Amino acid sequence: MKFHKEGYTSLAIVVLFVFVINALADYYDASVYLKWFLYALSAFLLIAILQFFRSPIKRVTPDEGIVLCPADGKVVVIEETEETEYFQDRRIQVSIFMSPINVHVNRNPISGIVSYFKYHPGKFLVAWHPKSSTDNERTTVVVKTQSNVEVLFRQIAGAMARRIVWYVKENDAVTQGAEFGFIKFGSRVDLFLPLGTEVTVNIGDKVVGGKTVIAKI
């Protein structure tokens, strides 16, 4: 387990805040009860930041026959739907909701070449809103495998998650299980798979990024 680089600024702000409020409490000789409250608040804030930005070390052996889960969370959607941005045809959508207590690292579900990438500015609707996939701030990534199978995955911001970070661009070679991005404080990741793909999870399943097999292709 390590602390993710995207949390460095947030950690520095929290540490500075904790130092200042405790220093002021000591300087003004605050009551014992207030000091203990500030100590508890300080501990809570530090633990929360370390929890939010934890980054488990994952060792993944790439397998072209499977689609790995791109994020920790819970499966909230499995349905056949129209994908209108890139494929413009019917696809199987699998959506994973990331709560604030989940690991927020996003991982490549397959290995291959990034054939499409686009960032979309947008709104910050709650992640389970029906229009969050099309109206919220988001990124869309399409990766093509050596077998010419294309999988689209999309980072979607939510009401709390107001910053999406990505580490890929078009024509990059990516490896299954490696980091492709980060969503601060949760939200959602959508996968769009070819029709006929064997989905191996069910709605309500708790899944782990870089470990749980979402589908066989």
Residue 55 known to be catalytic: no
Cα(85)–Cα(38) distance, rounded to whole angstroms? 49
Helix (H, G, I), strand (E, B) or coil at 133: helix
In sequence order, what DSSP letters do the residues of 6-20 get, joined into one string?
GGHHHHHHHHHHHHH
Q: Which residues lie below 8 Å from residue 180, measured CB to CB, with a gap of 6+?
A: 70, 106, 107, 108, 141, 166, 167, 168, 174
Instruction: Find the helix or strand (DSSP H, E) in which 32 lies.
Output: helix 32-52
Edge-first strand listing for the sheet containing 187-193: 173-174, 112-120, 138-144, 150-156, 187-193, 89-98, 73-83, 206-207
Cα(109)–Cα(211) distance, rounded to whole angstroms? 10
Catalytic residue selected from 111, 132, 133, 187:
187
Name residue 50's amino acid: L
| Catalytic positions | 187
